Structure formats: C-alpha cells, structure tokens
Amino acid sequence: MYQPDSQLVAFVNSLSAQGGTPLATALEATNRFMSQHKSAASRTQMILLLADGNDDCGDLDTVLRTLKHNNLLYRHETVGLEVSGAAQRQLQNIATQSGGKYHSATSQNLSKVFSDAVDLMRMLDMIGKFN
C-alpha cells in the first residue's frame, strides 16, 4: 500500500476552500501522480473524484484530450455532491472519457456512494486477477 510522503501530507494540509473548482488542474495532477506512483502489483487503477461544482478555473476538455493522448487517463468514478447542470455534465464526461461511471450524491448518501465505488474497485481488482 502506498504511504504518502511528508511533502504530500504537508501539501494536502495546506489546502483550503476558496470558492473555485479547479477540476482540470486536479484531474491533470492526479492522473500524473497515479502514473508515477501506482503499484506495480495492482491490476486496476481507479481514481475516485468528488466535486461540488463545475470547473471554473481551467480548460477541462483540453486536459482530458491531452491525458488520453499521452495514455495517462485512468478510470474515474466521479461523484457529484449535490450538483446539476454544467457540473454534472463535466463529471459525467470525465467518467465516460475514462471508462468510469458518474455517481450523484447528497450529503445524506455520500458515505454509501463512496462505499459502493470502493466495492467496485475491489471487484475490478479481483476480476483482473483471473485474467
């Protein structure tokens, strides 16, 4: 299992909400991180992406195209927390482009949605071991 280094922990601890939803930036950073740090023993890699708004800080379509072109786009299970409209469409697009699935969540069912996504990841890993 991957153990985060102190720089990663410090970075995450330095984050704070500022009203924007930089999905494009997060998507690029997460997929590149996964490419560099994924477990060689794992047959499946999946990113669970939670967002509560639409990307208003970058160019999501360009980032998706670039990641796909460079074989860096991993499967995304996207979770929209009480979103609709543009935010929902963007999360659905990320899931579709990456071979994943979009999940709609509310604060009341968020825990179950995450649990279901983790169960899916376990199932995909188990299936991969039989190939």
Over the stretch 93-115, which tens digit does the pLDDT of each residue have? Answer: 999 999 999 999 988 888 888 88
Q: Which of 90, 25, 27, 28 is nearest to 53 (CA)?
A: 90
Q: Is residue 71 part of a domain?
A: yes
Q: Is residue 8 part of a domain?
A: no
- Count structural domains, the chain: 1
48, amino acid identity: L
CATH number of the CATH domain containing 28: 3.40.50.410
The domain in which residue 112 lies consists of: 24-130
Report the share of the chain in percent with pLDDT over 70.
80
pTM: 0.78
